[in-house]
Amino acid sequence: MSQIIDGKAIATKLRADCSERARALIERGITPKLDVIIVGDDPASHQYVNSRASDCRAIGMDSTVHTLPEQTEQVELIELIERLNADSSVHGILLQIPLPKHMDSDEVISHISWDKDVDGFHLMNVGALVSGRAAIAPCTPSSIMELIKSTGVQIAGKNAVVVGRSNVVGRPAAMMLLHENATVTICHSRTADLAAHTKNADILVAAVGVPHLVKGDMIKPGAVVIDAGINRRDGKTVGDVEFETVKEVAGYITPVPGGVGPVTRTILLMNTLEAAERIHGRK
Ligand code: NDP
**For residue range 93-116, what is the model confidence (pLDDT) as tens digits?**
999 999 999 999 999 999 999 999
Q: In this structure, how many other beta carbons lie within 10 angstroms of the beta carbon of residue 159? A: 16
- For residue range 11-53, what is the model confidence (pLDDT) as tens digits? 999 999 999 999 999 999 999 999 999 999 999 999 999 999 9
CA of 196 to the centre of ligand 1 (A): 19
d(CA 244, CA 54): 34
The Cβ-side half-sphere exposure at 250, using a 13 Å CA radius, reads 33
**Distance (Å) of CA 119 to CA 13, 56, 113, 224, 234:** 21, 15, 12, 26, 31
d(CA 273, CA 92): 8
d(CA 234, CA 253): 22
Coil, strand or helix: which one is 253?
Answer: strand
The residue whose CA has the least distance to atom 14 of ligand 1 is 189
State pTM to two decimals. 0.97
State the alpha helices, DSSP H only, in 73-183. 74-86, 105-109, 123-130, 139-150, 170-179
The Cβ-side half-sphere exposure at 122, using a 13 Å CA radius, reads 18
Q: What mean pLDDT is reported for the chain?
A: 97
Q: What single-letter DSSP state applies at residue 119?
A: T
The Cβ-side half-sphere exposure at 145, using a 13 Å CA radius, reads 22
With 0-12 / 13-18 / 19 or more C-beta atoms within 10 angstroms meaning exposed / middle / buried, residue 186 is: buried
pLDDT at 281: 84
User: Does ligand 1 have an atom closer than 6 angstroms to the CB of 208?
Assistant: yes
**Distance (Å) of CA 130 to CA 94, 104, 136, 264:** 21, 24, 12, 20
User: Does ligand 1 have an atom closer than 6 angstroms to the CB of 195?
Assistant: no
d(CA 51, CA 54): 5
The mean per-residue pLDDT over the stretch 120-137 comes to 94
pLDDT at 51: 97
Percentage of residues of the chain with pLDDT beyond 90: 98
d(CA 51, CA 67): 14
Counting atoms of ligand 1 from 1, which one is nearest the CA of 139?
Answer: 40
Q: Which amino acid is at 223?
A: A
- For residue range 183-214, what is the model confidence (pLDDT) as tens digits? 999 999 999 999 999 999 999 999 999 999 99
Taking every pair of Cα atoms in the chain, the longest distance, rounded to a whole number of angstroms, is 56
Helix (H) or strand (E) holding 16: helix 7-27
Residue of 140, 161, 169, 268 to test ligand 1 pocket, by largest number of atoms within 8 Å of CB: 169
List the one residue out of 108, 106, 86, 104 whose CA is nearest residue 37: 108
pLDDT at 18: 98
pLDDT at 283: 65
Coil, strand or helix: which one is 161?
Answer: strand
- For residue range 233-268, what is the model confidence (pLDDT) as tens digits? 999 999 999 999 999 999 999 999 999 999 999 999
